[in-house]
Amino acid sequence: MEKFKSVDELLKQLKPTEPVYCIRRKSIQLSSKYFRNKFPGKILYAVKTNPNPIVLKTIIESGINDFDIASIKEIETIKK
């Protein structure tokens, strides 16, 4: 996975002609930790919202370890 300092840098270097999927791990980490610290209940991440392995790994590393799973495929995704 290539890393870029900004979306502008990505656009300048890659000059994509098709959609590009960008993941901002730091934003996911900060949002996950903030929610975890402010929400008093049990947190379950709905895998169907974004099953990308990098997103899931980042969420787990941020302390969210329980998941709302609605299919066999989602179970298999989490097991990885």
**Amino acid 80: pLDDT:** 78
**CA pair distance 67, 58, nearest whole angstrom:** 14
Name the token pair of 46: 């709905």
- Token couple for 50: 């974004």
Separation between Cα atoms, residue 67 and residue 47, nearest integer Å: 7
**58 CA to centre of own chain:** 6
Full-model pTM: 0.81
- Give pLDDT, residue 37: 95
Domain-wise residue ranges, the chain:
27-79
What backbone phi and psi angles, to 5 degrees, belong to 26?
Answer: -60, -40
pLDDT of residue 21: 86
How far is Cα 36 from Cα 40, in angstroms, rounded to an integer?
8
